[in-house]
Amino acid sequence: MSAVKTKCTIIFFSAVLVLFGAGVSIAKEDPIGMLQNVTQRMMSELRAHHDEIQHKPNKIYALVDHIILPHVDFSEMARWVVGRNAWRLADSETQKAFVQEFKTLVIRSYARSLLEYTDQEIEFLPMREPVIDQKRIQVQSVIKERGKSPIHMDYNLIHEGSGWKVYDIIIEGVSLMQGYRAQFSDDIRNGGITVVIEKMRQRNAEN
């Protein structure tokens, strides 16, 4: 992955954590209003605890676990990343193991970068179609930072139970899930999901 794409991915994950960080229910009728409210609150938290997290890096993992897990659909992400056929052929224990290691990989890869992105302005664009009766929606936004070109991000959300959950984000036309799918595809094709699980487990143990 190029340096530019890596930075965009970090910004993406920062935004995911920001958007879903305050334990606020996601109103189906007004996802943009919720996103704006939670963004402001989470940015404030990141600024307030910046020094503490710098001295105790592991604290950011606990914070991320508490904030993001209830509001991001890692199971939907995993199914998409692995591919329909490979996912269907895997037993339930293998699926659970993949979701757990994938979740840990994503969180640990980008959590420490959160503190680099606390002063951006996030502008959410109007919805293109009504939210009512929609199972999946896309929320568009633009991240603005003084002296830099704006970054366009699209959030793909799925409605489950009483709220919306993120399952992919597209940054400047590049899907985060497509990136992971490309990264894992050769191992899945040649050795199956268990090979990817073991590689993720080893990588997670190093962090």
Angle in degrees, 0-180, between the axes of helices 193-206 and 176-191, rounded to the nearest 10: 120
The distance of Cα 178 from the centroid of its chain, to the nearest Å, equals 13
Low-confidence ranges of the chain (pLDDT < 50): 1, 4-6, 17-28
The neighbouring-strand residues paired with 159 are 164
Chain mean position to CA 198:
22
The whole-number pLDDT of residue 161 equals: 74
Give the DSSP letter of residue 9. Answer: H
Of 34, 20, 6, the residue nearest 171 (C-alpha): 6
DSSP conformation letters of 142-195: EEE-TTS--EEEEEEEEEETTEEEEEEEEETTEEHHHHHHHHHHHHHHHH-HHH
* In the chain, where the domains are located: 3-202
Superfamily of domain 3-202: Tgt2/MlaC (3.10.450.710)
Which pLDDT value is given to residue 87?
Answer: 95
For 22, the 3-state DSSP assignment is coil
CA–CA dist 20, 104 (Å, integer): 17
Q: Which sign, positive or negative, has the C-alpha torsion 53, 56, 62, 68?
A: positive
pLDDT of residue 25: 40
Contacts within 8 Å (CB) and 24+ apart, 108-112: 108/61, 108/204, 108/207, 109/13, 109/207, 110/9, 110/10, 110/13, 110/14, 111/13, 111/17, 111/60, 111/61, 111/63, 111/64, 112/57, 112/60
What confidence score (pLDDT) does residue 39 get? 66
Q: What is the pLDDT of residue 111?
A: 67
DSSP secondary structure letter of residue 121: E
